[in-house]
Amino acid sequence: MHALHFRLLIGLTLALPMLATPGIAPAQSSALAATPPSTTTRLPIYRPPMLGAPATRVGGASRGSPDNDGLTLSVLAPESTGLTRRAQPTLYWCSSKSLTTPLEFSLNDDHSIKPLVEMKLNAAQPGIHALHLTYPLKTGVEYQWAIAAVADPNQRAGDLIAGGTIQRVEPTPALAAQLDNASPGEQVLLYAEQGFWYDALAVLSEQIDANPADHHWREQRVALLEQVGLNTVAWQDQKFFASGTKPAYASH
């Protein structure tokens, strides 16, 4: 998917410019000086790194294609740019149904004409999928990433697209030291509080994979998704757990 196509879609859908935010420094909270309370009594509270930042998340919905009837694509991203401390983070997305049409992932920034990464995906099963990014992100650069269901390779204007934005930021030394010495549950709380959406989500998802029968981790992820308006994905996540079916994770 061409970089300009994704940027134009965001502009037309949201009527807001894509604003890069280099050098974001996550706000420090006085609560960081104390040991976070037990995760059994606290849910993560996501605090966007820049209050009032323009919305950049795009959601996909079916456009009536026979192959895509009833399809919803969602990226597990906040409404505005979320942070990561990882050079090669894991990105999560969700498909409401299994797909037979081709899927394509793309990664862009504001300075490149062509996509930095462009690759084919598959979604043989519905649910949440994980994409382990191998492209190293630079600090202070805002990247746009998107998942597209390609109905017609010759008519890309008809693509069903979901996308979001991500920026790599180095945590302060004090925050980094706390994170490195924290339990997974404490890491989730700290990451969410300091705007590191992608890392909070990754830790939760890794714990769900490792402990699929532990409803505590899934409840935390559902809470996180609902806070950024991903209520449909949160409902699907709960449905998978209630039915005893593990969501279909896929690495790319």
User: By mean pLDDT, which of 34-43, 157-166, 205-214, 224-233 is the weakest?
Assistant: 34-43
CA torsion through residues 181, 183, 184, 185, sign: negative
pLDDT in tens, 33-50: 333 444 445 899 999 998
Query: In this structure, are residues 164 and 78 in contact, taking their beta carbons and an 8 Å threshold?
Result: yes
Q: Which helix H or strand E contains 204, and what residues bound it?
A: helix 197-210
Averaged pLDDT for residues 2-28: 40
- pLDDT score, position 250: 42
The count of C-alpha atoms lying within 13 angstroms of the C-alpha of 131, restricted to the half-sphere facing its C-beta, is 23
Q: Specify which residues 103 forms β-bridges with.
A: 121, 149
pTM: 0.79
Domains of the chain, with CATH numbers? Answer: 3-18+40-243 (2.60.40.2550)
Between the alpha carbon of residue 171 and those of residues 168, 186, 194, the distances in Å are: 10, 16, 9
CA torsion through residues 39, 45, 49, 55, sign: positive
Instruction: In the chain, count H helices and then E strands.
Output: 6, 8
